[in-house]
Amino acid sequence: MAYKINGKLRGLKPYVPTQEITGVIHLDANESFLNLTPQLIQDAADAVQNTAFNRYPDPYAADLCQAFGNYYGVNATHVTAGNGSDELISLLISNFLMKGETIVTTAPDFSMYTFYPKLAETNDVEAVKGNSFSITPQKLIDTVKKSNARMLLFSNPCNPTSLGFTREEVVQIIESLPDVLTVVDEAYMDFWEQTQSVLGLESRYDNLVILKTCSKMGLAALRLGFSVSNEKLTGLLHSAKSPYNVNSLTQEIGALVLGEKKCLQSHIKQIQQSRDSLLHGIEEILFRYPGAFQLYRSCTNFVTFRFPEAEQLYTYLMECGISARQFPGFLRITAGAPAENQAFLAVMESFFHKKSTLEKGG
């Protein structure tokens, strides 16, 4: 007799990051192209000096949640810190759903939304977006009702489409589904407008959880994410999580950086400017090669365009030392440093130039 691996683990593949590949311009992971300022790195080093390494961290990360609350203007008693928002997504799916219950996600959306439901042995129903990459709130609501789902999870603005529901639309969804837990992942809201965020509405709805992450604003290395929900849901999350999920260094450095609102906002502004110039550069290529691909506006830190030969362009970019993220029939490019955007645009231009020369020749 041999030990037999269970069905849900069989066929599972490890996540493959591209970070290991050196000498490549990384425009694939939606990271910030800006590291912390030298002053903040010094402050972080000082915090490390003063850490009690022999002691467990604060299980509820009180100071950190207070710093997050101050930054976004939410009540710290509504906040749960996680080891990245990834941990909180996993926690929500495995604890707020019973085995066999249904979660609705949208497609395309963040890849982890379909990964965790499989491990939790729940049913995942996808509300599929059309060619425009959008879905009406009503269609989403209908899908949830028809499938008797207990949870709805989507990113807003959406990764990888770069588009967002307005706050009014999200409120319509929450209010139309009072017996469904709606989880709104606002990982990219900082790059859009705070007026579109549903932060603050958690005290009005007992079926709302909002997710945030520090990864996209330049703290990906720390592994730090947050959920915001009313006191009852927050209490349940605190009870269901593993006790010391956020380590002391992340708590101290996270609180310190969130306290430097001006600095973070200046970085976010630079990322928005990079996104706009990347979008503009791609628009110019589209102008020279009309109809070559379909470009979407972006309210995130990346640009997405639909293109039947996305895989070829992806491979060509890799050969030229640039990593993008490819999906079936479309590509996602993270806004990088100005020189990185320029390098990407030059390769993209060269791809379409070659392609059009070939087509004219043949």
Ligand X SMILES: *Cc1c(COP(=O)(O)O)cnc(C)c1O
Which residues are at the interface with ligand X (CB under 6 A)?
30, 84-86, 110, 155, 159, 185, 187, 213, 215, 225
CB of 14: closest distance to ligand X in angstroms? 17
* 85 vs 207, beta carbon nearer ligand X: 85
Q: Are 94 and 241 in contact (CB under 8 A)?
A: no
* Phi, psi for 161 (deg, rounded to 5): -85, -20
* 32 vs 343, beta carbon nearer ligand X: 32
Longest alpha-carbon distance in the chain: 70
CB of 226: closest distance to ligand X in angstroms? 9
CB of 357: closest distance to ligand X in angstroms? 37
CB of 316: closest distance to ligand X in angstroms? 25
* 226 vs 351, beta carbon nearer ligand X: 226
* 185 vs 260, beta carbon nearer ligand X: 185
The 10 Å Cβ neighbour count of residue 163 is: 20
Token reading at 278: 């990347």
Residue closest to ligand X when measured from CB atoms: 84
> How many Cα atoms occupy the beta-carbon half-sphere of 291 within 13 Å?
1
* 156 vs 234, beta carbon nearer ligand X: 156
CB of 158: closest distance to ligand X in angstroms? 8
* 85 vs 250, beta carbon nearer ligand X: 85
Q: Are 292 and 286 in contact (CB under 8 A)?
A: yes
CA distance 321 to 344: 9
* 153 vs 345, beta carbon nearer ligand X: 153
CB of 145: closest distance to ligand X in angstroms? 24
CA distance 212 to 226: 5
Q: Which residues pair with 185 in a beta bridge?
A: 155, 211
H/E run at residue 118 = helix 112-119
What is the residue whose two structure tokens read 């017996």?
179
CB of 231: closest distance to ligand X in angstroms? 23
* 117 vs 225, beta carbon nearer ligand X: 225
Q: What is the DSSP letter of 243?
A: T
* 30 vs 272, beta carbon nearer ligand X: 30
CB of 82: closest distance to ligand X in angstroms? 7
CA distance 157 to 164: 4
Q: Are 104 and 147 in contact (CB under 8 A)?
A: yes
Q: Are 179 and 208 in contact (CB under 8 A)?
A: no
Q: Are 216 and 30 in contact (CB under 8 A)?
A: yes
User: What single letter denotes the amino acid at residue 239?
Assistant: S
Measured CA distances, 81 to 27, 41, 69, 211, 227 (Å): 27, 22, 11, 10, 7
Assign residue 321 a region (left: φ > 0; alpha: ψ between -120 and 50; beta: otherwise).
Answer: left
Q: In the sheet that 330-334 helps form, which strands lie side by side, from edge to edge?
A: 294-295, 302-306, 330-334, 325-327
CB of 219: closest distance to ligand X in angstroms? 9
* 36 vs 347, beta carbon nearer ligand X: 36
CB of 261: closest distance to ligand X in angstroms? 19
